[in-house]
Amino acid sequence: MIHSFWILAFSLCLEDPSTDDQLSWATARVVKLYGAGGVGRLEGYGSGVFVAGSGLILTVDSPLLSAESIRVVLSDGSRRTARLAGVDRTIALAALQIDGDRPTAPYPHFDVTLAPPGREGDSVWAVSNLFGIAVGNEAVSVQKGIISAHTSWATRQGTEAVPFSGKLFVLDIVTNNPGAAGGALINSEGQLVGIIGKEIRHEPTRMWINTAFPMEQILPFIERVNAGTADKTRPLSTEPVVDRRELARVDLRGVRLLPEVLDRTPPFVDGVETDSPAQWAGLVPDDLIVYVQDIIIPSTTELRLALLEQPTAEPIRLMILRNNELLPIILPPRHEPTEELKTP
């Protein structure tokens, strides 16, 4: 990936001067975002795009936005804070508004009223802070490719179905890198044609694809944000009201989970104890626990609740997600493992 990045950087130097000017103009309108996360596979950074001189930013809806205040780093290295201005979960996008009074000069931004439609075969550039490479006034990254398709797809994000039913851009660029989602997709004229989406999987083929949301699908959401009618709340937590002290005493059978940095922290395995049921069963870091005894597990809290209800002397059936593949796991009780449960 790093080698391809430098090859890309070299190839951009070979573009004509007008392209360099357009890319410089576009990168000044993409910002670096920092919020909740930074633990395990929960990245605490992302990308956003200025779409109004008042400081309105488009990005993807993600756990990063669970923070009370989002830190924004502009292209010149200056720093701001922003608040949530709206969320549209049908397209998995969010809008942020820079805090404070209106700026004395407009923020550099894309004029979304001039956003042209993208078409299959169009040359495009993906502009984002992939891998969190830029942290101050360094330029964000640029990747060149084409729009391979403009079509409807049956897709999933992780273990959940994507509610979006409109058309997506399918790209021949690897944009589903950490930090890239929420960046800008621009055409050869430097105009904004889409917003880079999160990694999703095409259900019929189970292939992971690189996508962007077309601007024509996003404009109604921006209109609601400007009118003050957009949803401004994070999803209400469906976590049950429980005694946290009791949950803290639940025997996880050697599983170490990610710290609960979010209201609904996904139940990723952060590590396993030596010579424990979790190690005997073959669990490894980065496994995502999806089911316990056929009960879907959306968070670490609900995992603890599910384990609390299981007999301590009985094995527990788990379903985990590892390397994009669902695997059944039997988690034995705390006693000497049988030969068939021992990992090689």
CATH topology of domain 2-227: Thrombin, subunit H (2.40.10)
pLDDT of residue 99: 92
pLDDT of residue 158: 47
Check: CB of residue 119 under 8 Å from CB of residue 147: yes
Q: What is the residue extent of each domain of the chain?
A: 2-227, 244-331
Beta pairing class for 160-161 and 79-88: unpaired
| Length of the chain counted residue by residue | 344
The amino acid that residue 121 corresponds to is G
Beta pairing class for 123-128 and 184-187: antiparallel
Say how far apart CA 210 and CA 218 lie, in whole Å: 18
Say how far apart CA 270 and CA 219 lie, in whole Å: 40
Check: CB of residue 103 under 8 Å from CB of residue 69: no
147 - beta bridge partners?
Answer: 171
The amino acid that residue 311 corresponds to is P
Question: 311 Cβ partners below 8 Å, 6+ apart?
Answer: none
pLDDT of residue 63: 79
Say how far apart CA 292 and CA 302 lie, in whole Å: 10
pLDDT of residue 301: 85
pLDDT of residue 206: 62
CATH superfamily entry for domain 244-331: PDZ domain (2.30.42.10)
Check: CB of residue 198 under 8 Å from CB of residue 176: yes
Say how far apart CA 210 and CA 124 lie, in whole Å: 13
pLDDT of residue 8: 44
Q: Cα 149 vs. chain centroid, distance in angstroms?
A: 22
pLDDT of residue 213: 93
The alpha carbon dihedral of 87, 73, 180, 19 has a sign of positive
Check: CB of residue 134 under 8 Å from CB of residue 112: no
Taking only the tens of pLDDT, the chain with its 344 residues reads 444 343 344 334 434 557 788 899 999 999 999 987 655 556 689 999 999 999 999 999 887 887 778 999 999 999 999 999 999 877 889 999 999 877 889 999 999 988 888 999 999 999 999 988 888 888 899 999 999 998 876 555 544 445 556 788 999 999 988 899 999 999 988 999 999 998 776 656 667 789 999 999 999 999 999 999 998 876 444 444 455 667 778 899 999 998 876 667 889 999 999 999 999 999 999 999 999 987 888 888 889 888 888 888 899 999 999 988 889 999 999 875 555 444 44
Asked if the domains at 2-227 and 244-331 fall in one CATH topology, the answer is: no
Question: 272 Cβ partners below 8 Å, 6+ apart?
Answer: 254, 255, 256, 278, 279, 283, 284, 285
Neighbouring C-alpha atoms within 13 Å toward the C-beta of 183: 33
pLDDT of residue 37: 62
